[in-house]
């Protein structure tokens, strides 16, 4: 009779899942998986073993595209907006920092308690001098990331990784009105690639930069240029990590992307921000009408917006290094531009690069 009574609760009440529990569980599981995948790739690179190209079949791509990645990405975006309790912020962000190798010493605010939610942490700003802009070269890296591929565009095909290509016309979409870009009219019989090259003796070049989840998520202007047009493709949101890029041909053409086109001193210039799983949000700072991963847009279409008007004949002038936009997580940036034949890249495939470092010059 002197024993204390033991009060119990229903099992369902004890094990009730809450958003924080789901966040920690999925984050921890993904962290372990990511570490294992990185370890396998590191071992292959140390041995000098090149991973053979194995493309996905049509049914595999169709199966992947059937996954509601856009809906999941919107849900993930809302979860990222949930304000974390102060006591939970440090363990959650520390797990992310350990998983993806984030260097918080570069952050403008190093105190983890300052970031109210994951979205704020993803879009953290850097200290003013953390990324000096190279003044000696004409084209700089617009972001932190890994160089997947670069070089001349050949036969209207662009390499997303070595040995895996995509169509230049499918990626950029139909050619934009020449009056808008102030380009000379190319003969109608010319290929899409030849129509983009406006000056005799020039070539078309490309560079693909993959932003990992741990990288700085803002991107900047890679050179001095004038943005005349925006084209938004509301496609799928498949992963764009190098492993998937080796597996799915024309991956960048399937995914949602924002194509900015214009011109620089040597002719045509474009920067494309490619979305990915959990990266449904692509923001361009000067474009308030852009809304990515929105249910009102259907796959397979695109919508255009011109920055050239009667009141603004020059479009949007951008200076090298100027803030241009941001992702909510890692993704990919593709540069496609015209330059003289003596343009040289100062890169190696697979190298890590940071915003402000040289990509190439004449």
360: phi then psi, degrees, rounded to nearest 5:
180, 170
- Whether 144 is a known active-site residue: answer yes
Which position among 73, 143, 144, 217 bears the catalytic label? 144
Catalytic hit among 206, 217, 220, 232:
220
Please report the DSSP string for 66-123 in residue order. Answer: HS-HHHHHHHHHHHHTSPPPHHHHHHHHHHHHHHHT--GGGBS---GGG--SHHHHHT
Q: Which helix (H) or strand (E) holds 60?
A: helix 58-66
| Distance, CA of 159 to CA of 149 (rounded, Å) | 7
CB neighbours (10 Å) of residue 56? Answer: 16
220 has catalytic annotation: yes
Catalytic residue among 138, 239, 270, 331: 331
Residues in contact with 282: Cβ distance below 8 Å, sequence separation at least 6, in sequence order: 256, 257, 258, 273, 275, 290, 292, 325, 326, 327, 331
Measured CA to CA in angstroms, residue 3 lies from 6, 7, 9, 234 at distances of 9, 13, 19, 66
Cα separation, 279 vs 92, whole angstroms: 19
**Token reading at 236:** 């799928």
The answer to whether the beta carbons of residues 34 and 99 sit under 8 Å apart is yes
Q: DSSP labels for 314-337?
A: S-EEE-TT-EEEEESS--EEEEEE
SS (H, E, C) 226-284: EEEEEEEECCECCCCCHHHHHHCCCHHHHECEEEEEEEECCEEEEEEEECCCCCCCEEE
331 is catalytic: yes
Q: Measured on CA atoms in the order 224, 309, 230, 131, is the torsion positive or negative?
A: positive
Catalytic residues: 144, 220, 331
């Amino acid at each position: 009779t002197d024993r204390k009574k033991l009060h119990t609760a229903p099992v369902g009440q004890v094990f009730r899942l809450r958003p924080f529990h789901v966040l920690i569980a999925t984050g921890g599981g993904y962290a372990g998986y990511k570490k294992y995948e990185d370890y396998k790739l590191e071992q292959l690179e140390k041995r000098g073993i090149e991973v053979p190209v194995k493309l996905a079949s049509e049914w595999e791509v169709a199966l992947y595209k059937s996954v509601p990645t856009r809906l999941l990405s919107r849900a993930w975006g809302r979860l990222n907006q949930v304000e974390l309790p102060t006591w939970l912020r440090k363990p959650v962000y520390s797990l992310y920092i350990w998983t993806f190798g984030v260097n918080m010493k570069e952050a403008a605010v190093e105190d983890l308690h300052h970031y109210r939610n994951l979205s704020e942490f993803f879009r953290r700003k850097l200290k003013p001098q953390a990324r000096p802009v190279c003044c000696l070269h004409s084209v700089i890296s617009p972001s932190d990331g890994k160089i997947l591929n670069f070089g001349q565009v050949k036969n209207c095909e662009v390499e997303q990784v070595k040995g895996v290509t995509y169509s230049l016309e499918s990626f950029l979409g139909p050619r934009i009105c020449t009056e808008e870009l102030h380009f000379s009219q190319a003969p109608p019989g010319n290929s899409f690639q030849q129509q983009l090259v406006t000056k005799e003796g020039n070539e078309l070049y490309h560079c693909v930069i993959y932003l990992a989840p741990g990288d700085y998520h803002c991107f900047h202007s890679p050179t001095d240029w004038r943005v005349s047009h925006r084209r938004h493709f509301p496609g799928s949101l498949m992963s764009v990590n190098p492993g998937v890029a080796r597996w799915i041909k024309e991956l960048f053409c399937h995914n949602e992307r924002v194509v900015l086109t214009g011109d620089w001193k040597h002719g045509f210039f474009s920067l494309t921000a490619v979305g990915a799983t959990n990266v449904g949000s692509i923001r361009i700072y000067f474009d308030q009408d852009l809304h990515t991963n929105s249910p009102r847009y259907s796959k397979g279409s695109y919508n255009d917006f011109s920055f050239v008007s009667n009141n603004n004949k020059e479009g949007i002038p951008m200076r090298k290094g100027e803030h241009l936009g941001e992702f909510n997580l890692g993704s990919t940036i593709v540069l496609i531009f015209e330059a003289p034949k003596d343009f040289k890249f100062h890169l190696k495939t697979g190298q890590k690069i940071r915003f402000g470092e040289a990509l190439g010059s004449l």
